[in-house]
Structure 1
């Protein structure tokens, strides 16, 4: 029997009964979660090691008994134990879950969070990309999947917040992308928000090391694995508790950032823990670090038309660069009197919802009038029918 099989057998069983009810009217989603422990032999005190999730549905959908069982397994947490950097270690606690509904709109310039802006997001995104090791490639993708920090996601008000959570803790910006190193892929995600809460105690199973940085900020590190339906994924993470209130959570695994149930694991996490620390501790990511003068805000995002693109080739970097070069040449030949654009054509990106589509979004001005122009280029489309003559 392999060590992996032994670890899985020693895992403690944790079963969930999960009911999800979707109320389409009003866009409301309500989720209820009930947990129950099952007894199984284990030599160690363990927590949340194996999960079985059953999804039930409304009467008009598939009956609950026909939905396959979903299993999720993580390593047992040993207690008592010692963790490097921790003066003391607390016993693992039962996992808790909460849900809430975002009823606001995502924006880069929310006056409630003056530390963040489109220019701040641009500066942070550039800093993260430039700090990647030289032999690590960022997979070509849409801006939203290329380590570009998105707008702030936050509730519109403080009504109905989960108990114990403040608005600032739930207002976050996220960047994600797929890294490639020596042919092995891994998904990196960074989430940043502000918080005035104290640094939590070390808890068995939640970290493998705690570091105190030069400015007395604290970094918690984790290096672990999980199994979903028997498929193992390697995970590394770093959590920064900045002295200025910055909170950064970085997660890295050995799968593609596209995710999905069919995502394959490469077996190698593309960054070491020390390299992950180097990314997270950068001063450019602190909420109190000013934006460098002259930093341009991010260009507005663009989307294609959602469709089945399985039979259409994905756009690569060379194709996007060729299209941009053609557009730049044509733009220079535009006659006088053409509407003014905030940026000239030649900055196409892959659409956020369609990897076979290139697009760019402009603001156009004609006199005192201003409007938005979306340019989309996509392949695999049939030629239009010839009009009647």
Structure 2
């Protein structure tokens, strides 16, 4: 067996141990995420990285022995190799992880990022929904889980930023939703930010193709898989490096969008690489694109809570019927009743 065949079959495996560092007021545990390389003696590649995460817990301290191990497996990169659209391919880089804590409030109208606003988010959200293939259904969900771009998430200042990262790179807006195609589900997410950094080199294992668009913007494509605790997830992505500084990543996999531990994989990714390119290359998503006049406002998210999931699942038909009943009832109210506005009855699912 050749070395290339061996490399292509070998997988990079990380076993993560969550080590509790300290317990602070309010039940917040600050923990370290330690990346330990686990491989056979014949493997000639090793990766080590570290990061930190913040999790919430009960005030009772948890011992390290009680924290379950977490395994994450991805394919090994083959190198040297060639990649379509790349003049040269660099060797795989050592993986690294970082985290930061936001100490401010997310907002749609941050003066530090004049390219973004609530109207811009509404225009982009509608453009993405309209650009989905006709045979792809966006699962009915709360506005925040229906491909609606959220507020800018960014640190309040530049103190303590990870080395090599700028504020503009960490200031992003995201949209996500669950797609259904031919009865198979998959989760789609998009992240958008601005950057003045140059387009990165092609790196083995990080993309399967690079495309150059008519305006010289570049799109990197990836089609791969990962395994978390032995459960495999298929995923595809498209990353656009716009000539105007726009950076858009569209990521789709074969699981639903609820993020729960019981999420199942359908075995089919609902969008092709070409369809992902169609999404990220839309002019409406560029940071320099104006907001069309008459753009409808964003739907407002609302919170809800229940101690358990029970009862009938609410679909779009049921929610619309409930909203119409509410409007009809209010129209029958006495004329001296207060005006509650035109959006009365426009019900949405809670997060």
Q: Which has the higher contact order (CA 8 A, sep 6+)?
A: 2
Fold match by TM threshold 0.5:
yes
Structure 1 gaps of 5+ residues are 1-5, 49-54, 353-389
Write the distance in 1 (CA, Å) between the matches of 2:8 and 2:266. Answer: 20
Q: TM-score, normalised by structure 2?
A: 0.89
Q: 1:109-258 to 2 correspondence within 5 Å?
A: 109-258=109-258
| 1:325 and 2:324 aligned | yes
Equivalent position of 1:365 in the other structure: none
Write the distance in 2 (CA, Å) between the matches of 1:233 and 1:301. Answer: 29
Q: Residues 153 and 173 of structure 1 are in contact (CA less than 8 Å); yes or no, is this contact kept in structure 2?
A: yes
Which stretches of structure 1, 4 residues or longer, exceed 4 Å deviation after superposition?
6-9, 20-24, 26-29, 41-48
333 and 269 in structure 1: CA distance in 2 versus 1, 3 angstrom threshold? same
Kindly provide the CA deviation profile for residues 64-119 of structure 1, in whole angstroms up to 9, marking residues without a partner as x.
22333221111110111101111111111111111110011111111111111111
100 and 276 in structure 1: CA distance in 2 versus 1, 3 angstrom threshold? same
Write the distance in 2 (CA, Å) between the matches of 1:334 and 1:115. Answer: 44
22 and 247 in structure 1: CA distance in 2 versus 1, 3 angstrom threshold? farther
Kindly provide the CA deviation profile for residues 12-31 of structure 1, in whole angstroms up to 9, marking residues without a partner as x.
44444432446553787644
Q: CA deviation at 1:59?
A: 9.7
Write the distance in 2 (CA, Å) between the matches of 1:107 and 1:128. Answer: 21
Equivalent position of 1:344 in the other structure: 343
Kindly provide the CA deviation profile for residues 144-177 of structure 1, in whole angstroms up to 9, marking residues without a partner as x.
1111111111111222222211111111111000
Q: CA deviation at 1:261?
A: 1.7
Q: TM-score, normalised by structure 1?
A: 0.80
Kindly provide the CA deviation profile for residues 240-278 of structure 1, in whole angstroms up to 9, marking residues without a partner as x.
111111111111000010122211100000011001111
Write the distance in 2 (CA, Å) between the matches of 1:334 and 1:136. Answer: 41
Structure 2 gaps of 5+ residues are 1-5, 49-54
Write the distance in 2 (CA, Å) between the matches of 1:347 and 1:239. Answer: 35
After alignment, is 279-288 or 313-322 more displaced?
Answer: 313-322
Q: CA deviation at 1:38?
A: 4.3
Equivalent position of 2:52 in the other structure: none
340 and 272 in structure 1: CA distance in 2 versus 1, 3 angstrom threshold? same
Greater Rg over alpha carbons, structure: 1
